[in-house]
Every structure is written in C-alpha cells, then in structure tokens.
C-alpha cells in the first residue's frame, strides 16, 4: 500500500513539475523576444523567476500542487504560445486556439483576467529587476 501511494505521489509531482516547467519555458520564450530585456541588459531568467512567482500568486488554486493550479499553468503556457503561431499566415489556427483558450479558462472574462495578471506581473517585474540591478551598481 505504501509503495502504491509513493508511486502515485511521485507521478503527481512529476506532472506538477512538468506543467510549471512548461509555463516557465513559455515565459522565457516571451522574455527572450522582449526588446526591453535587451535594452536594459536584464537577465531573462531573473524576469522568468519573477513573472512566474507573481502570476502564480494570483492563479487559481490554494497551493502549488493543487490540480486547479496545475491546470492554470497549462492554460497560461497555452495562452503565451498563442503569440508564437506555427504558421504566421494562418489566422484560422489563432482563432481556434483563442476559442479553445476561452473554453479552457471558463469564459472570455477569465481569459482576459489571466492575460491581465500576466501583463501586470511583467510590468511589476521590470520594476523589481531594474531596481535590484540599480542597487547592485550603487553598492559597487
């Protein structure tokens, strides 16, 4: 019985890590495209850590391994992947993905809230990361 419980717990943890890692990877891809990251010489990984932490605070779910939080990670990653379509000429793919996202998030309003959460987190993290780098320069 203990072995089965341990195996189930390990499988759950691996799934949870995979969902969060997928979201982190999607955020990293977005950060690597941002011109401000390059202009301000910000480490993209610092922004990723900050953005993931900030958005996670406002995601559904009580704790990191909560199934609704894991679903939110998947949905947020899918939302960010909409910005990188496989075929730039194909708007039908984007429309289908948008419709799927509306369904996944529960409503267009919830999708808008998720997008706002992400964007607010990015703006907040720019402020935090730039302030930290300025403090580090002053300390030298």
Residue-wise pLDDT for 21-72, tens only, equals 999 999 999 999 999 999 988 999 999 999 999 999 999 988 777 888 889 9
- Mean pLDDT (the chain) is 84
pLDDT of 10 strictly over 60: no
Question: pTM of the predicted model, to two decimals?
Answer: 0.82
The span from the CA of 96 to the CA of 91, in Å, is 9
Residue 72's pLDDT is 93
What pLDDT is stored for residue 26 in this prediction?
95
pLDDT exceeds cutoff 70 at 89: no
Nearest residue to 32 via CA among 51, 17, 59, 18: 51
Share in percent of the chain as helix, strand, coil (round to 5): 80, 0, 20
Local structure of 83: helix, strand or coil: coil
Q: What is the distance between the alpha carbons of residues 10 and 6, in angstroms, rounded to a whole number? A: 6
């Amino acid at each position: 019985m203990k072995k089965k419980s341990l195996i189930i717990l390990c499988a759950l943890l691996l799934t949870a890590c995979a969902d969060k890692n997928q979201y982190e990877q999607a955020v990293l891809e977005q950060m690597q495209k941002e011109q401000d990251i390059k202009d301000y010489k910000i480490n993209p990984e610092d922004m990723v850590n900050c953005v993931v932490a900030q958005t996670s605070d406002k995601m559904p779910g009580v704790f990191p391994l909560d199934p609704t939080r894991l679903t939110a990670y998947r949905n947020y990653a899918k939302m960010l992947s909409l910005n990188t379509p496989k075929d730039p000429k194909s708007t039908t793919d984007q429309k289908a993905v948008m419709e799927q996202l509306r369904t996944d998030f529960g409503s267009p309003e919830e999708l808008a809230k998720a997008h706002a959460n992400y964007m607010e987190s990015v703006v907040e993290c720019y402020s935090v990361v730039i302030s930290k780098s300025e403090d580090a320069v002053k300390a030298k």
